[in-house]
Amino acid sequence: MAARATTALARRPASEPGGVLGVFRGWTRRIGGEAVEEKLARLTSQANEYGVDPFGLDLEFSKAAIAPVLWLYKHYFRVETHGVENIPTGRVLLISNHSGQLPFDGAMIGVATLVEPEHPRMVRAMIEKWVPTLPYFSTLFSRLGQVVGTPENCRRLLAQDETILVFPEGAKGINKLYRSAYQLQEFGNGFMRLALQSKTSIVPVAVVGAEEQAAALADLKTLARLLGMPAFPLVLQGLPLPLPVKYRIYFGEPMCFTGGADEEDQEVEKKVRQVKATIQAMLNEGLRERRHIFW
Amino acid sequence: MPNAVVITGISGNLGRALAKLLHRHHRVVGIDRRPMQGKPKDLELFQIDLRRKKVEDVFRRGDVKALIHLGIMHDPRMSQEEHHTFNVYGTSQVLEYAARYKVPKVVVLSSSTVYGPSPNNDNFLSEDAPLMAGQRFSDIRDLVEVDMYAQQYMWKHPEVETVVLRPVHILGERIKNAPSNYLRLQNPITLAGFDPLVQLIHESDACRAMELALRPGLRGVYNVVGPGIVPLSSALQELGRRPIPLPHPVARALVQKLWEARLTSFPPPELDHIHFPCAVDGNRFVRDAGWKATLSLKETIRAVLGETPLKRPKATESAPAPVESASSPASLRG
């Protein structure tokens, strides 16, 4: 890694940042309380003297910037998590369903893995190639340690024992119409090849609730293409801003697969189907337990 | 016993720095059509155009042990045709002479910009990544072609140890390339909401990398990285710059107009470099050659101010350039 070559990584002094960053840092502390504060303090990164790691993650910035997301987690979506103890130590691939038009599900999984487990971890989500073309979002996602989902990036991060979040349905999942809610769309195979290659265990994740945050009735595909967007959903509330639904996130038991990374598609697909079936079962179970969309 | 190292493009700023580094341990022979300022006495200069047949005379004596080819022209205002023949034809000529006179080592200086900045890029491009720079910026096709030619030469002449170096943006006090010029601006344009990670290398480290490439046994294509990677905004902050953020469509239109009016030396497609990432993985050179940049990130960035780390007295560390406070409105990290 370019960074490994960079020795003498001076840590930035732990002094509190000023300005806007400082205000947000205070909010993070207020919303999260002592328990979260203590966990955030334990996070480390391979930061250089300018405070960023090789993938652009700026930990101090992130601790401040998560304040609004933390608020959504605690007070808006009132996220309930199950099975965080299933996330093993070391490198891991979190494979989740994707829904809700805007990727709040990713953000909530990210917060869950920061604040819920004994050992907090900074999840790296494999993001859409569309994001780096968006002003502000491109920078924001990069400083939060989120990385464009290319196989090479994923390989590199797994080699560093990172926690990777993949939505194998991609845009097809997040932008699906409400009539297909909680029906998993087609899964890509890429994550399985990477898991086999790097012998990484897979933790299936099911997010229940996000489908109802912005129920799409139609997708204006032509308009989306004109605007260069992956989709242009028409949602109940007009703008695809999320309704205050209740989130339930289920982390399943880790699944380990054996086999070669260059197996034929058919063989890999079989394993992908196992993961997909597990997540679908977790979703169904979660839906059965759910009494109400909003609480 | 052949003992001369031939450097093309020796009269340029990088060429002179390289000559200064090498001539203490090697007999250096230079080729350039420009005169060389501050030429060391023991250095022999052939002041000829690379495309001329006379270049063959340099090799004819058969005493050349290595060729380092920097003779690539970057002047964006020069006519495309002149550029192209000088760069591509010139390269093929000089490399052919090297093969004919059995020069055992050929080092070609390419650049990591051959991969081209793109929103779809891997965060760290390996040497095997396709060279896509020409996709959006046709002037850089020369450089891509020179790089490809050098790779082809490597296969055609297995008896020659060919090394293609692709260093990241080279910075130096006198270096006149786009990244150094950009960082020297007091109020550089930035693209609002975009802050790509950039990799930089000090000119002296770049020269050391070329010296390292002379090592017997080493051949191949290598990315050469400096001391690390930083967001563009951090580099600008380190230099105390006050950037002017503009929405990217506005910035592109503006630079296009300025370029047409000959008011800027930055070709409009260069904006891609402050828009999208083009960072490389330098591990192969580290593994095969034991490469390590000697200067820190801070020293590398500040090189454009002319603070060479050797000359800089310790006391002036913070004195010359006022470092902007962390709450600059232009920076997202503010």
Residue from A44, A124, A52 nearest B232 by CA: A52
Among B55-64, B68-77, B166-175, B235-244, the minimum mean pLDDT is found in: B68-77
Euclidean distance between CA atoms A73 and A79, whole angstroms: 6
Going by pLDDT thresholds of 50, 70 and 90, the confidence category of residue B309 is low
pLDDT at B253: 95
pLDDT above 70 for B328 = no
Tell me, what amino acid is at B208?
R
Give the mean model confidence (pLDDT) for residues B38-57. Answer: 91
pLDDT at A231: 87
Question: SS3 of B65, please?
Answer: strand
Q: Which ranges constitute the DSSP H helices of chain B?
A: 13-22, 55-60, 80-84, 90-100, 141-156, 178-184, 203-213, 232-238, 248-260, 283-289, 297-302
- Chain B: residue whose CA lies nearest to A8: B296
* Contact call for B333 and A143, based on CB within 8 A: yes
Contacts of B247 (CB under 8 A, 6+ apart): A135, B191, B192
CB B90 within 8 A of CB B51: yes
pLDDT digits (tens, 9 = 90+) for A277-292: 999 999 999 999 998 8
CA angle at residue B205 from A142 to B186, to 5 degrees? 60
Give the mean model confidence (pLDDT) for residues B251-265. Answer: 92
Higher confidence at residue A7 or residue B272?
Answer: B272
Token pair 């993070």 is found at: A28
Going by pLDDT thresholds of 50, 70 and 90, the confidence category of residue B310 is low
* Contact call for A54 and B123, based on CB within 8 A: yes
Euclidean distance between CA atoms A96 and A166, whole angstroms: 6
Note which residues in 239-278 of chain B have CB less than 8 A from chain A: 247-248, 276-277
Indicate the helix (H) or strand (E) that contains B224.
Answer: strand B220-224
Going by pLDDT thresholds of 50, 70 and 90, the confidence category of residue B71 is confident
Give the mean model confidence (pLDDT) for residues B76-85. Answer: 81
Of B121, B231, B281, the CB nearest to A52: B231
Residues (pLDDT < 70) of chain A are 1-17
DSSP string, B85-99: IIIIIHHHHHHHHHH
Euclidean distance between CA atoms B61 and B58, whole angstroms: 7
Of B119, B192, B199, the CB nearest to A132: B119
Question: SS3 of B249, please?
Answer: helix
Give how far Cα A273 sits from Cα of A168, A204, A257, A265, B60, Å.
12, 12, 12, 12, 67
Give the mean model confidence (pLDDT) for residues B73-81. Answer: 78
Question: SS3 of B168, please?
Answer: coil
pLDDT digits (tens, 9 = 90+) for B129-181: 999 988 777 778 889 999 999 999 999 999 999 999 999 999 999 898 999 99
Residue from A10, A16, A104, A112 nearest A64 by CA: A16
Among A125-139, A227-241, B93-107, B284-298, the minimum mean pLDDT is found in: A227-241
DSSP string, A259-284: S-TT--HHHHHHHHHHHHHHHHHHHH
ipTM confidence: 0.86
Indicate the helix (H) or strand (E) that contains A285.
Answer: helix A265-289
Give how far Cα B239 sits from Cα of A15, A259, B294, Å.
22, 52, 20
Tokens of B13: 């700023």
Residue from A70, A11, A8 nearest A44 by CA: A11
B309-331 core/surface letters (b: 16 or more CB in 10 A; e: else): eeeeeeeeeeeeeeebeeebebb
**Residues of chain B contacting A6 with CB distance shorter than 8 Å:** 227-228, 297
**Residues of chain B contacting A138 with CB distance shorter than 8 Å:** 119, 193-195
Of A4, A129, A136, the CB nearest to B119: A129
pLDDT above 50 for B318 = no
Of B120, B231, B248, the CB nearest to A129: B120
Q: Looking at the DSSP assignment, which residues form a beta bridge with residue B262?
A: none
Higher confidence at residue B55 or residue A9?
Answer: B55
Going by pLDDT thresholds of 50, 70 and 90, the confidence category of residue B308 is low
Q: Where are the domains of chain A?
A: 82-289
Give the minimum alpha-carbon distance from B93 to chain A in angstroms, rounded to a whole number. 35
CB A181 within 8 A of CB A211: yes
CB B75 within 8 A of CB B86: no
Higher confidence at residue A119 or residue B334?
Answer: A119
**Residues of chain A contacting B231 with CB distance shorter than 8 Å:** 50, 52, 56, 139, 142-143
**Residues of chain A contacting B194 with CB distance shorter than 8 Å:** 135, 138-139
Residue from A81, A65, A86, A84 nearest A246 by CA: A81
Contacts of B178 (CB under 8 A, 6+ apart): B266, B270, B273
Tokens of A31: 């919303």
Tokens of A169: 């349905």
Indicate the helix (H) or strand (E) that contains B170.
Answer: strand B169-171
* Contact call for B279 and A2, based on CB within 8 A: yes
* Contact call for A148 and B123, based on CB within 8 A: yes
Total residue count of chain B as it appears in this document: 334
* Contact call for B248 and A135, based on CB within 8 A: yes
pLDDT digits (tens, 9 = 90+) for A2-47: 443 333 333 334 456 678 888 999 999 999 888 899 889 888 888 8
* Contact call for A2 and B238, based on CB within 8 A: no
Question: SS3 of B162, please?
Answer: strand
DSSP A76: I
pLDDT above 70 for B329 = no
pLDDT above 50 for B39 = yes
Going by pLDDT thresholds of 50, 70 and 90, the confidence category of residue B331 is very low
Query: How many A-B residue pairs are in contact by the CB < 8 A criterion?
Result: 119
Question: SS3 of A182, please?
Answer: coil
pLDDT at A3: 42
CB A92 within 8 A of CB A205: no
**Residues of chain A contacting B124 with CB distance shorter than 8 Å:** 1-2, 54, 152, 156
Give the mean model confidence (pLDDT) for residues B30-58. Answer: 92
Indicate the helix (H) or strand (E) that contains A105.
Answer: helix A104-115
pLDDT at B16: 95
Question: SS3 of A47, please?
Answer: coil
Taking the mean position of all CA atoms in its chain, how far away is CA A41? 21
Euclidean distance between CA atoms B58 and B71, whole angstroms: 15
pLDDT at B286: 97
Q: Looking at the DSSP assignment, which residues form a beta bridge with residue A146?
A: none
pLDDT above 60 for B201 = yes
